[in-house]
Chains A and B, each alone.
Chain A
């Protein structure tokens, strides 16, 4: 009897926190189907008689093109992920397998780079991008984001490659494979779970990062989704219906992907952080 009571209390407490976590998202989604005036009057009810798609029509026909922003986000984030995996893959292999002069120093340098917040260099960074004629372009967001993520990726991948057995590489080498064949046919496929975790971490970081997007890109046609959302809110912040539909449009795809890939995502994000 006593055990039964204890379990009940545990489930009640856990359910309360689950509600506090999930209800905000539920609230936004149901309210995105209500007229703005009803959200302000009574946001707690479920839309039945006042159900409407108007907020979505407005979101897609306003002078802000949400679809194009999604495309911008994907272009930026996939480029960052691709570049980080390639650059970090090579560097990690060198750090995991070779003994070279200055290796310890390079590693300490990578750790230090991981510590420091990218916004502490934003002003000089912005000047560099202006000099490189990259200010306002998607590439101007991509390059610093690569720099901001590569050190973390190297730490994760180096740790993983070190644990791989050397014998497979050695036998491939004896069979006459060159270094690039060894990397792409032997090492990288064996490390694919570590690459997947890293890719997820880097993708979410890049997709969700507002700071660089906001500072570098001023043209709303080139804005990734976070920067565009901020623009919409500063212009139409009082239109609750439009706000709710815009927020729903950005969170629902992420939640769907999250539910499909949750084990990889949770592993990727927490493993990444612990190594740091």
Chain B
């Protein structure tokens, strides 16, 4: 019954059409445009400039800043988001009562739109009367200019905090699901052999969930490349002086506001896509799948 190949082709055609029209075709347009210099958005005769746009992009201060900030966020995401998620999962796997409640609670921020979360955190970060400065005032501390100050490190920290906070519960659930598949017999046997909590965690549990850890890292790293909504809501023009751009927010800025050279924005888009595919490939190589588990 599966001999009739034209049915298979018929069934995959609508999917291919959507992917080609709305992803592949526009991406090809980006590749093509990235080799031309536009004098204005409506420039009918853009000049062929080879890889000039790419060279120019890498010498742009804000592009470098956006790359640096995104790398910084990636490191923080791995250490804090993935780290806290793993610790919470190890803790919850130790208990029976209330485990369901913690799982439900930790996952809530994931289902809320980043827009709503962004507006919520805007109220927390407000210089005058925001939640955080009210708490500081209770301890007689000076208010901090979280998002509108001149110190880009404070601003970056304020943008990263909710970004990292939101997804901890997501990786927590993935880790917890993996930990729950480890058989109780194995853990009991190890305990009888005298293994302490440290040995149990580092010699048994973590090695056994290593494939899941790899998946989590791929997701977390490629996820940071796509971060847009939350930082954009909190700080749309990358205060102070464009020093807090991330790749996502800078992409939007270049496409719609920054300059009239469409080629430059296209080159950026191409680099972004290459980074996305390259990054996940790299993580897959570094954390090779262990087939023995």
Residues of chain A touching chain B, judged by Cβ–Cβ distance below 8 Å, are: 7, 10-11, 13-14, 17-18, 20-22, 24-25, 27-28, 31, 39-44, 87-88, 90-91, 93-95, 97-101, 106, 109-110, 112-113, 115-125, 127-128, 143-144, 146-148, 150-151, 154, 169-170, 173, 179, 204, 207-211, 215, 225-226, 229-230, 233, 237, 240, 243-244, 246-247, 250-251, 254-255, 258-259, 262, 265-266, 269-270, 273-274, 276
Contact = CB atoms under 8 A, between A and B. Distances in A.
Contacts of B114: 208, 210
Q: Which of the four size classes fits the interface of chain B? A: 35 or more
Interface stretch (B13-21, B43-51, B62-70, B150-158): B13-21
A2 to B, nearest CB: 11
Nearest to B134: A43
Given A88-B15, A230-B233, A119 B251 contact: yes
A22 B26 contact: no
A148 to B, nearest CB: 8
Interface in B9-66: 9, 11-12, 14-16, 18-19, 21-27, 29-30, 33
A238 B277 CA distance: 41
Interface of B: 1-2, 5, 7-9, 11-12, 14-16, 18-19, 21-27, 29-30, 33, 84, 88, 91-92, 94-95, 98, 101-116, 119-124, 126, 128-129, 131, 134-135, 138, 165, 169-170, 173-174, 177, 212, 215, 219, 222, 225-226, 228-229, 232-233, 248, 251-252, 255-256, 262, 265-266, 269-270, 272-273, 276-277, 280
A18 to B, nearest CB: 5
Given A24-B124, A209-B229, 5 more contacts: A20-B165, A113-B24, A115-B273, A265-B107, A273-B219
Closest 7 CB pairs of A and B: A40-B129, A147-B22, A124-B26, A208-B113, A98-B8, A94-B11, A121-B26
If over half of A's interface residues share one DSSP class (helix, strand or loop), that class is named, otherwise mixed; here it is: helix
Contacts of A88: 15
Contacts, number: 260
9 contacts: A13-B91, A14-B92, A117-B248, A120-B273, A125-B26, A144-B22, A211-B228, A240-B129, A254-B113
Contacts of A148: 22-23
Nearest to B32: A124
A15 to B, nearest CB: 8
B8 A121 contact: no
Contact of B174 (A120, A146, A179, A270): A270
B23 A254 contact: no
